[in-house]
Structure 1
Amino acid sequence: MNIYFDEKEKIFHLQNKNMSYIMQVMEGGYLVHLYWGRKIKEYHKSNPIIFVDRGFSPNPDSNNRTFSLDTIPNEYPAYGNGDFRNPAYQLQLENGSTVTDLRYAKHEIYDGKRKLKGLPAVYVEDKNEAKTLEITMEDKAIGLTVILSYTIFEKFDALTRSVQFKNNGSEKIKILKALSASVDFRSSEYDVLTFHGAHTNERNMDRRPLVSGIQSVESRRGASSPQNDPFIALLEKNADEDCKEVYAFNFVYSGNFIASAEVDQFKNTRVSMGINPFDFSWILGQKESFQTPEVVMVYSSKGLGSMSRTYNKLYQSRLCRGKFRDTVRPILVNNWEATYFNFNADKIVEIAAEGKKLGIELMVLDDGWFGKRDDDFSSLGDWIVDKNKLPDGLKDLANRIHDIGMNFGLWFEPEMVSENSDLYRSHPDWCLHVPNRPHTFGRSQLVLDLSRNDVCDYIIEAVSKVLSSAPINYVKWDMNRHMTEVGSAKLSPERQRETAHRYMLGLYKILEELTSRFPEVLFESCSSGGGRFDAGMLYYMPQTWASDNTDAICRLKIQYGTSVVYPISSIGAHVSTVPNHQVGRITPMNIRGHVAMSGNLGYELDLTKLSEEDKELVKLQISTYKEIREIIQFGDFYRVLSPFDGNEAGWNFVSKDKSEMVGYYFNILAQPAAASRILKFKGLDENTLYENIATKEAFYGDELMNVGLSIPIIREDFSSLMWRFKKIK
């Protein structure tokens, strides 16, 4: 790992064991992109930019019609001086103009990686893990400084990018657009991969060929959203899980974003990512600065699987933080689908007692424990125990759960307020709102204005008071609606379009404070399920509820799609009752268990109502999961069969030392005249002899990977199989 600078040629070469990223400062101070991909030892300009007169492409120098910003691969492209493609940033000056012109001024190379103030980001624990390049660009005419930051890692084929704007001039600057990364590829022969979805249908894979024009995904909802994930990748044609090149971009941010791929007139492709400029602006006063969030870029020469494992390992070990980063996650039972709002303390203890018999470790009390919360029309913001349901309070209930031998967890939705609440009646201006406009409600609730310090302080103290009042081991942090009437009573008219980003900065401030105050509490993020499953939240909370849809068949796609970027240790997955509450499907306990065991296992049903047969199955699932959960949560994950491609799915997990493997196969609908199937596992040591724990059959790793195992003919719907192999030689 190193960053080289050729002083004569003005070429930067960022390099680690598998990857190179190369830029050059051209004559005039323009910074151009030359190469990103498989590692090369040294760069000797084998792919020089070809300069020709492109007719109507404008030229900075009237005497040189071959040089145009509209045709060169710009590293951080501007607007207004010749490049008509998607700009990475746009500013407005006091005179109303929006033209800027950044030129190279200087650079700094140093060991390690600095924190981003107030923002989540990938980190290092030792400065020798990474090297950082900061390139300072200037527009001297207006006193603007822009620092482009690049960090390359020793152990990961990843590069992080972010940008800082500094106003050193005498006038205010309005930022209209400030993306975090832009890369120009000198080809359009790629497929583009993105994710789309909806509530209860998150992270569906969408792969399609690039075409001329702009292809993009974005969120304007105030959250990263279930509709589109802050991720985009270019895939070499015919790239699959195991071969060919992938160039991926993921945004470490939980709010509005945009990710786009633009194919220009000359079949070049510009990929860019950052805060969505829609309804965004930011005023920079004299000597003020603005920091963009971080984009994590991953290169793989071995397909999507290798790309995923890079993201998974990097995020698990250098994005997630705290005690639970490296700790196996508890098996929990949540009462939501068991009782909804209709519960009391005795019922929660009854479920916990049954859970203890089955081997469950954590009882989670969901929505309805506070205020007068008998439905979803009231009480959000009033974080005071409902004595009708819990007459002896939270501490008594938590102690009763602990006395059983289980830990206790609690649901919150701190970012929201109900109109029917004491908090709203006392502070109606604390919600996001626009003067003289009626509120729009979502789930009968409003969004608190986290751009305000007083609101943030209230949330911190209200949640802290509850967490200090009882032995609480886990928090499920929910957020069940998106932003409307995005305005703040505290901001001036010219700063109203800063509200959504200031909200995110406020949220990150809250989460930083609470997770620091309560380091022994395991925090799990939730947003109507997986509506804010992003890298920004993982920085504060090491796991996320993947979806409110607990149906095992739907979860095959949801969890498969989620695994493309996010580590298995971050994926909350529960077994629920049948008929399923979201889609009405009836599936066997076996497949429900196998799907949920492929993430952080939990249960979301009334355990007291299970049949004795199902209780025995649950007990077996839990005891098995305890034996394998370190492999599941912290091993290497390999996707084998995609549920997006047909009637089946398959994947396997391999321990870090390759001594153990857990594999799963899922068949959705039984087929007439079903063909015999073979499942080939991945990631094993080809020279190791592995024993099937159930049958005692032994096979070398090369046979399991290249020949594979025969799948029995399946004659029933919604079937699943599980294998466990262990090294014997």
Structure 2
Amino acid sequence: MAIYFDKQTQTFYLESKEISYVFRVNEFGFLNHIYYGKRVPREDLRYSVHVQDRGQENFLPGGGRTHSLNQYYNECPTIGRSDYRESMIAVCDSRYSRVSELKYASHKIHSAKPALEGMPSLRGGKTLSVTMKDEYNNSEVILYYTVYEDLPVIIRRADIVNKGKNPLKVDRAYSMCLDLNDNNWEALTLHGAWARERFLERTPLHHGIFTIDSKRCSSSGQINPFMALCRPNADENSGEVIGFNFVYSGDFVFKAQVNQFEYLRVVGGINDYDFEWELKKGEKFSTPEAVMVYSDCGIGKMSRIFHDLYRTYLINPRYVDKPRPIVINNWEATYFDFDTKKLCDIIDSVKGTGIDTLVLDDGWFGERNNDKCGLGDWFINYNKLPDGLTPIIDHAHKNGMKFGLWFEPEMISENSDLYRAHPDWAIQVPGIKPCPGRDQLILDLTRDDVVNYVIDVVSGILKNNDIDYVKWDMNRTMTENYSEHLGKNNKEMHHRYILGLYKICEALVNGFPHIFFEGCASGGCRFDPAMLYYFPQIWTSDDTDAYMRTFIQYGTSIVYPLSAMSCHVADCPNHQTGRTTPFASRADIAHLGATGYELDTTKFSPELKAQVKEQVDAYKKMENLVLFGDLYRLACSQDGNYFAEQIVSKDKTLSHVTVMRAMAYPNFTVYRLYLKGLDEKAIYHVEELDLTVSGATLMNVGIIVKFGGGDFITKTFTIKKV
């Protein structure tokens, strides 16, 4: 049984094959956390709860000097009753008091997971709901815990319900809290910027509060909604690690706080920086889900758990096990300068290579001949494409290819017919000139009429054209946080915007089940689990330089599966870095994800076209590994001169290894690589080395990688069980 309640000790046990998560209702009615970690027997763990007279501490009435919430490990901490650490929930009542005391009322074990309305959530698992009541402000908080027997995962969220007559204001609505009994941890986070997303950073925790957050109404490229706690000795293959990921695409925060007693508290959820939510009588606010993953074998195992979780329980089953489109995207080949002939020439140029989808990027609609106009005008630019999309689509289909189209549905240009007709649909404050951002503004998705317009206009294009693939972009984050119709409740705006976005995604993805959707946001600036719920892959970064992609894809893989990363072979010198890398290296790195091409293939020589065919054939042979395999990161570009990743099939019969050496040094041309994840007792054949040895030998003695001369050289190896 994955969830068990011991009535005698009032203790909850949440269990999978590998972990235990234990908490109890204490004698005063509070939920006290006891244990989270490696699976332990279902025993009475109350002995491990230690409280003492701390001297200069406040304590609750009637419980003596040890009854201070500041020294308990709490499942749902609040404000004003002796716990001075970060709260999970904060509610303001009609007296303007935020003093709150949530106590256990009841619980229920659900065989089927309760639905989360209006937001993405993971499927499956068994769920415990615990109802907490606050007699001071007449609120009710329902805590949800979902557990999977096959994975060491806990998923948390909460509902906040107004059970009183007077309105309440929710000032903070985090999704989770985890209290741990020591502070010997480091925080692993993924920081970045546009074209430089998800670089690794480790920070020792200290007294005070370590915070990562986004205030952009986007999960952002600056910091991903992910944080892990790592023991100082934890690495890829060993040590204790707890990972947290937020299933949300808007403002978020994770905080790790060490108090004076060396206790560590982690809280996370919707960023309360500019948040408030009014609850009238009987109304409910639901938080997004937060995912917690436990690993006792390092960061690598944590990643593989996240990958399995998202492939099995998050990504749309329609797509998760299907071969991905191998696209040729016209953007870096043409930018805005294209016509029907140019696009048909691109189709002709890749015939016979195995590339199977043309994606027409920005510039096909409105008066969109540059990035200063046209967003929102989702009608065909007949000046550029006199016969519309039909000749291009027909030419693609005639040549056995599919056709994809770029949209940026959330945006509006001031120079557009839509803006001239509905200036009030753009997010801005009357009388304040908006901050420029790529010469565009954001549509107010808090409004039902705007949401319905976006659904209708995009649906019209998809219904009237034989579209197979949609690339969904978003190139501006929010400023001027204001919507006139919200009035005094404008602090609800960011979350209402995200709910409007999800409504659009839900309508379009489910309304056109035959269409494959890819997400994008200035590259990988909204790469989060909630987007993966709708879009099975996301454009990983606008930076297509093969060397920089080793950093970006490595960091992305800390949480997200390879199949979720859209990775293209691009032109050189690279359009973002100016760097030139070998064509083969670009393909080898792009094959560590959902691969494709983004360059002018009409200029290819017969020899280069033949190389593309070889590359696509090679990718197809390893695609099942990308879709389903276990990832082992062997070397990181941030740590030195080498990058290496290995993918192993679940049955350990097939493996693929990719290695890149960045800089060539004289008299130093070989590299020893130790493989992972193989069956120690099995015999394997390394095709490229014509080497047949045991899995134990490959993992302990390793293989010798010979690069020869040149920078940014890659080598790949196919390892098959004999």
Instruction: Report the AA paired with residue 23 of structure 1.
Output: F
- Report the Cα distance in structure 2 between the residues aligned to 1:171 and 1:535, rounded to whole angstroms: 36
- Report the Cα distance in structure 1 between the residues aligned to 2:350 and 2:294, rounded to whole angstroms: 44
1:695 offset after TM fit, Å? 4.5
Kindly indicate whether the alpha-carbon contact (under 8 Å) linking 1:674 and 1:713 is maintained by their aligned counterparts in 2. Answer: no
1:81 paired residue number: 81
Query: For residues 318 and 170 of structure 1, do their structure 2 counterparts lie closer, same or farther at Cα, with a shift above 3 Å needed?
Result: same
1:647-662 correspondence runs (5 A): 647-662=641-656
Instruction: Report the AA paired with residue 572 of structure 1.
Output: S
1:326-370 per-residue CA deviation (whole Å, 9 max, x = no partner) reads 101011110000000000011011111111232201100000000
- Report the Cα distance in structure 1 between the residues aligned to 2:668 and 2:709, rounded to whole angstroms: 8
- Report the Cα distance in structure 1 between the residues aligned to 2:375 and 2:65, rounded to whole angstroms: 63
1:160 paired residue number: 155
Worse-matched range after superposition: 318-327 or 475-484: 318-327
- Report the Cα distance in structure 2 between the residues aligned to 1:615 and 1:22, rounded to whole angstroms: 59
Query: For residues 499 and 575 of structure 1, do their structure 2 counterparts lie closer, same or farther at Cα, with a shift above 3 Å needed?
Result: same
Out of 381, 386, 389, the residue aligned to residue 381 of structure 2 is 386
Out of 706, 710, 714, the residue aligned to residue 700 of structure 2 is 706
Instruction: Report the AA paired with residue 596 of structure 1.
Output: A
Kindly indicate whether the alpha-carbon contact (under 8 Å) linking 2:707 and 2:714 is maintained by their aligned counterparts in 1. Answer: no
- Report the Cα distance in structure 2 between the residues aligned to 1:271 and 1:103, rounded to whole angstroms: 21
2:36 paired residue number: 36
1:570 paired residue number: 564
Out of 424, 432, 437, the residue aligned to residue 429 of structure 1 is 424
1:266-665 correspondence runs (5 A): 266-493=261-488, 495-665=489-659
1:144-293 correspondence runs (5 A): 144-293=139-288
1:277 offset after TM fit, Å? 0.1
Q: TM-score, normalised by structure 2?
A: 0.98
1:727 offset after TM fit, Å? 2.1
Query: For 1:490, what is the secondary structure of its paired residue?
Result: helix
Kindly indicate whether the alpha-carbon contact (under 8 Å) linking 1:115 and 1:123 is maintained by their aligned counterparts in 2. Answer: no
Kindly indicate whether the alpha-carbon contact (under 8 Å) linking 2:340 and 2:391 is maintained by their aligned counterparts in 1. Answer: no
Worse-matched range after superposition: 134-143 or 551-560: 134-143
1:127 paired residue number: none
1:612 offset after TM fit, Å? 3.6
Kindly indicate whether the alpha-carbon contact (under 8 Å) linking 2:374 and 2:417 is maintained by their aligned counterparts in 1. Answer: yes
Query: For 2:403, what is the secondary structure of its paired residue?
Result: strand
1:688 offset after TM fit, Å? 2.1
Kindly indicate whether the alpha-carbon contact (under 8 Å) linking 1:322 and 1:519 is maintained by their aligned counterparts in 2. Answer: no
1:670 offset after TM fit, Å? 0.8
1:47 offset after TM fit, Å? 5.0
2:57 paired residue number: 57
1:563 offset after TM fit, Å? 0.4
Worse-matched range after superposition: 344-353 or 251-260: 344-353
Instruction: Report the AA paired with residue 44 of structure 1.
Output: D
Kindly indicate whether the alpha-carbon contact (under 8 Å) linking 1:390 and 1:397 is maintained by their aligned counterparts in 2. Answer: no
1:62 offset after TM fit, Å? 5.8
Query: For 1:722, what is the secondary structure of its paired residue?
Result: strand
- Report the Cα distance in structure 2 between the residues aligned to 1:406 and 1:699, rounded to whole angstroms: 42
Kindly indicate whether the alpha-carbon contact (under 8 Å) linking 1:338 and 1:606 is maintained by their aligned counterparts in 2. Answer: yes
- Report the Cα distance in structure 2 between the residues aligned to 1:402 and 1:203, rounded to whole angstroms: 37
1:713 offset after TM fit, Å? 5.2
- Report the Cα distance in structure 2 between the residues aligned to 1:451 and 1:156, rounded to whole angstroms: 37
- Report the Cα distance in structure 1 between the residues aligned to 2:390 and 2:262, rounded to whole angstroms: 64
2:113 paired residue number: 113
Worse-matched range after superposition: 92-101 or 311-320: 92-101
Kindly indicate whether the alpha-carbon contact (under 8 Å) linking 1:652 and 1:664 is maintained by their aligned counterparts in 2. Answer: yes
Worse-matched range after superposition: 548-557 or 390-399: 390-399
1:24 paired residue number: 24
1:155 offset after TM fit, Å? 1.3
Kindly indicate whether the alpha-carbon contact (under 8 Å) linking 2:568 and 2:596 is maintained by their aligned counterparts in 1. Answer: yes
Query: For 1:691, what is the secondary structure of its paired residue?
Result: strand
- Report the Cα distance in structure 2 between the residues aligned to 1:352 and 1:56, rounded to whole angstroms: 75
Kindly indicate whether the alpha-carbon contact (under 8 Å) linking 1:20 and 1:38 is maintained by their aligned counterparts in 2. Answer: yes
1:693 offset after TM fit, Å? 2.9
1:104 paired residue number: 104
- Report the Cα distance in structure 1 between the residues aligned to 2:68 and 2:589, rounded to whole angstroms: 54
1:675 offset after TM fit, Å? 6.7
Instruction: Report the AA paired with residue 359 of structure 1.
Output: G
1:170 offset after TM fit, Å? 0.9
Worse-matched range after superposition: 23-32 or 222-231: 23-32
Worse-matched range after superposition: 388-397 or 250-259: 388-397
Instruction: Report the AA paired with residue 451 of structure 1.
Output: T
1:659 offset after TM fit, Å? 1.4
Query: For 2:123, what is the secondary structure of its paired residue?
Result: coil
Kindly indicate whether the alpha-carbon contact (under 8 Å) linking 2:554 and 2:636 is maintained by their aligned counterparts in 1. Answer: yes
1:636 offset after TM fit, Å? 1.2
1:486 offset after TM fit, Å? 1.0
- Report the Cα distance in structure 2 between the residues aligned to 1:17 and 1:268, rounded to whole angstroms: 27
- Report the Cα distance in structure 2 between the residues aligned to 1:283 and 1:576, rounded to whole angstroms: 49
1:676 offset after TM fit, Å? 4.1
- Report the Cα distance in structure 1 between the residues aligned to 2:450 and 2:536, rounded to whole angstroms: 25
- Report the Cα distance in structure 2 between the residues aligned to 1:699 and 1:453, rounded to whole angstroms: 63
Unaligned 5+ segments in structure 1 are: 125-129
1:629-675 per-residue CA deviation (whole Å, 9 max, x = no partner) reads 11122211111111111111101111222211110111000123327
1:135 offset after TM fit, Å? 0.5
Confirm or deny that 1:687 pairs with 2:681.
yes
1:237 offset after TM fit, Å? 2.0
Instruction: Report the AA paired with residue 415 of structure 2.
Output: N
- Report the Cα distance in structure 1 between the residues aligned to 2:47 and 2:581, rounded to whole angstroms: 56
1:569-621 per-residue CA deviation (whole Å, 9 max, x = no partner) reads 10000010100000100111111111001111110000011344332222211
Query: For 1:80, what is the secondary structure of its paired residue?
Result: coil
Instruction: Report the AA paired with residue 95 of structure 1.
Output: R
1:699 offset after TM fit, Å? 1.9
- Report the Cα distance in structure 1 between the residues aligned to 2:475 and 2:23, rounded to whole angstroms: 43
Q: Give percent identity, aligned residues only.
A: 45
Kindly indicate whether the alpha-carbon contact (under 8 Å) linking 2:197 and 2:524 is maintained by their aligned counterparts in 1. Answer: yes
- Report the Cα distance in structure 1 between the residues aligned to 2:564 and 2:63, rounded to whole angstroms: 57
Kindly indicate whether the alpha-carbon contact (under 8 Å) linking 1:599 and 1:632 is maintained by their aligned counterparts in 2. Answer: yes
- Report the Cα distance in structure 1 between the residues aligned to 2:505 and 2:665, rounded to whole angstroms: 49
Kindly indicate whether the alpha-carbon contact (under 8 Å) linking 2:227 and 2:244 is maintained by their aligned counterparts in 1. Answer: yes
Instruction: Report the AA paired with residue 56 of structure 2.
Output: F
Query: For 2:611, what is the secondary structure of its paired residue?
Result: helix
Instruction: Report the AA paired with residue 598 of structure 1.
Output: L
Query: For residues 720 and 675 of structure 1, do their structure 2 counterparts lie closer, same or farther at Cα, with a shift above 3 Å needed?
Result: closer
- Report the Cα distance in structure 2 between the residues aligned to 1:239 and 1:383, rounded to whole angstroms: 50
Query: For 2:534, what is the secondary structure of its paired residue?
Result: coil
1:227 offset after TM fit, Å? 0.2
1:49 offset after TM fit, Å? 2.1
Out of 687, 700, 725, the residue aligned to residue 719 of structure 2 is 725
1:150-199 per-residue CA deviation (whole Å, 9 max, x = no partner) reads 01101111110000001010110000110000100100001111110000
Q: TM-score, normalised by structure 1?
A: 0.98
1:568 offset after TM fit, Å? 0.8
Kindly indicate whether the alpha-carbon contact (under 8 Å) linking 1:232 and 1:260 is maintained by their aligned counterparts in 2. Answer: no
Q: How many residue pairs were aligned?
A: 722
1:395 offset after TM fit, Å? 2.2
